[in-house]
Structure 1
Amino acid sequence: MNSTLNQEETMPGNKAGGDMFVMKCGGSTLAALPDSFFEDLKGLQEKGVQPVIVHGGGPAISGNLEKLGIETEFVNGLRKTTEDVLDVVEMVLAGTINKQIVRRIQSVGGSALGLSGSDGGLIEARPVANSAEVGWVGDVTHVKSSILNGVMEMGYMPVVAPIGVDASGQRYNINADTAAGAVASHLGVARMIVVTDVPGIMKSAGGEKRVLPTVTVQEIEDMIGTGEIYGGMIPKVRAAIACIHGKVREVVIVDGSEPNVLSRVVAGEVLGTRIVRM
């Protein structure tokens, strides 16, 4: 870690630890969740537990691109991002989706503040290795955790859109799972929660699929190899693996429709799948 990160993480008021967690959720998943989910978020905030939300919005981006007649394609799971596509990505993620989430939290009495990774240079990025194929897609190089801590010190829940920026001001489209993992790592939280529309990582046993309560990094690699983990779950588990270092001990994948799912996970109840490094 560089000296800037170390300085930020030792600043007075840094809340890294057991009273904070990073939550990642897709925009379409969040839109489908009931008010009770957001009331649970508000309740945690009132108890002094600080959620930091990083969201996606893939289906909404695709829908808007289609309406505008802009072609889009995926290369190894990453959206090929031209300047035209990037304009729509930023509009949807930092605009529509981000503000919808903020409004839903505030509609149940919570306090939230929406941010893009461009704001204050919150998420610093560089081109991915295969940028020649995928365009303006970025990898996270640094997260200014002092900005997020400042927002929380003011009593607001940060809601972060995964847009990155480099020193020249170039924008990057960043996979939301990757961004959430980077935010968790740089904040030094103990737990990251991935809210999805599935109950966890499933494994076939005796002719039926069951949720694995705990899975190790090696078991995940084996399941990807055999095809038991596939499609959109692969970037989720890869991002989880990437952020399990330093103070981040575990990533929990849960179904957002479970009643009071966040407060139950924070309280230590076994729900969904815990990904741990052995």
Structure 2
Amino acid sequence: MTDTHTHNDIGNILTEALPYIQRYSGKTIVIKYGGNAMTDPKLEQGFAKDIVLLKQVGINPVIVHGGGPQIANLLKQLGKESHFIDGMRVTDTETMDVVQMVLGGLVNKQIVGMISQAGGRAIGLTGKDGNLIKAKKLNLERKAIADQPSEIIDLGHVGEIVSINTSIINVLENESFIPVIAPVGMGEDGTSYNINADIVAGQIAASLKAERLLLLTNTPGVLNKQGELLTGLNTQDISALIDDGTIQGGMLPKVSCALDAASAGTQSACIIDGRVEHAVLLELLTDQGIGTLIRQ
């Protein structure tokens, strides 16, 4: 009896996925990969298999990854402290060397290797490859408060995106490769810049007019003040949630880049819990989905 129920459940799951596979076939899905999903071996292997499955059924995943914990660990080993201002890492020249080594080397190649082991064909890139991400120095402005004047804070090699050149991504997709992108950009003078991975994923999704943007986090999504998951949010909903303090802290940039992507041509964005096994498949290929769906 149990086997029959199990077989029926499996059959139902597979048939439930069919219309979503048909919907997304030939479409691009940009996935920001970070948080616990990058540090738990079981979740890492599951993520790699999910990505290969998507590609196998005709969907084009593009991965943008972070690597904050790995950067912090190497800096600590080198005897260098990490400093953050408004959630952004202060990145001097020495730190930028570590960022490039960890993101473009260690983390990027680990993800490429995992996908390859799962039977996929991945190519690792940084934003410097093929002039993928042109950037400039980010000047953080703090507004005047009481008797304190406004000021511009120097974060070093922290950058903001000037433009995205998607041609190299298009070439890789057409050749059935899976792009894996580290969020490092390059300025006009060749200077390297460390850029927030959520922002890079959102901008790439917008530039590609991707069907979906998925942001993997360490939370279930946007929660109300009672801790309940919110979904189906639009610009007006999010503005109200920011105004009443429901959305704050580290969730603000994620929601902002999701909205930006949706307003620039991406059909929808979703903030999902990377701690859930097969979170990507659950969001894309099931009726219920998981996480917070955001539309313009």
The 1:108–1:237 alpha-carbon spacing in structure 2 relative to 1, beyond 3 Å, is same
Q: 2:76 aligns with which of 37, 51, 66?
A: 66
The TM-score normalised by the length of structure 1 is 0.86
Inter-partner Cα distance in structure 1 for 2:187 and 2:158: 12
Whether 1:26 aligns to 2:45 is no
Deviation at residue 245 of structure 1 after TM alignment: 2.0
For 1:12, the equivalent position in structure 2 comes to none
Provide the alpha-carbon RMSD of the alignment: 2.0
1:1-278 equivalences under 5 Å are: 19-26=27-34, 28-32=36-40, 33-130=43-140, 132-204=153-225, 208-267=226-285, 269=287, 270-277=289-296
The one-letter amino acid paired with 1:58 is G
Inter-partner Cα distance in structure 1 for 2:30 and 2:166: 12
Deviation larger for 231-240 or 178-187: 231-240
Inter-partner Cα distance in structure 1 for 2:121 and 2:203: 24
Deviation at residue 56 of structure 1 after TM alignment: 0.5
Aligned partners of 1:37 and 1:256 also within 8 Å = no
Structure 1 runs not aligned, ≥5 long: 1-15
| SS, match of residue 139 in structure 2 | coil
Deviation at residue 84 of structure 1 after TM alignment: 0.8
Deviation at residue 176 of structure 1 after TM alignment: 0.5
> How many aligned residue pairs are there?
259
| SS, match of residue 119 in structure 2 | coil
Inter-partner Cα distance in structure 2 for 1:74 and 1:219: 30
The TM-score normalised by the length of structure 2 is 0.81
The one-letter amino acid paired with 1:51 is P
Structure 2 runs not aligned, ≥5 long: 1-23, 141-151
The 1:259–1:63 alpha-carbon spacing in structure 2 relative to 1, beyond 3 Å, is closer
Inter-partner Cα distance in structure 2 for 1:129 and 1:219: 29
Aligned residues: percent identity?
Answer: 37
| SS, match of residue 22 in structure 1 | strand
Inter-partner Cα distance in structure 2 for 1:184 and 1:17: 17
Deviation at residue 27 of structure 1 after TM alignment: 5.7
Inter-partner Cα distance in structure 2 for 1:45 and 1:82: 38
Inter-partner Cα distance in structure 2 for 1:28 and 1:65: 20
Inter-partner Cα distance in structure 1 for 2:136 and 2:168: 20
Aligned partners of 2:35 and 2:218 also within 8 Å = no
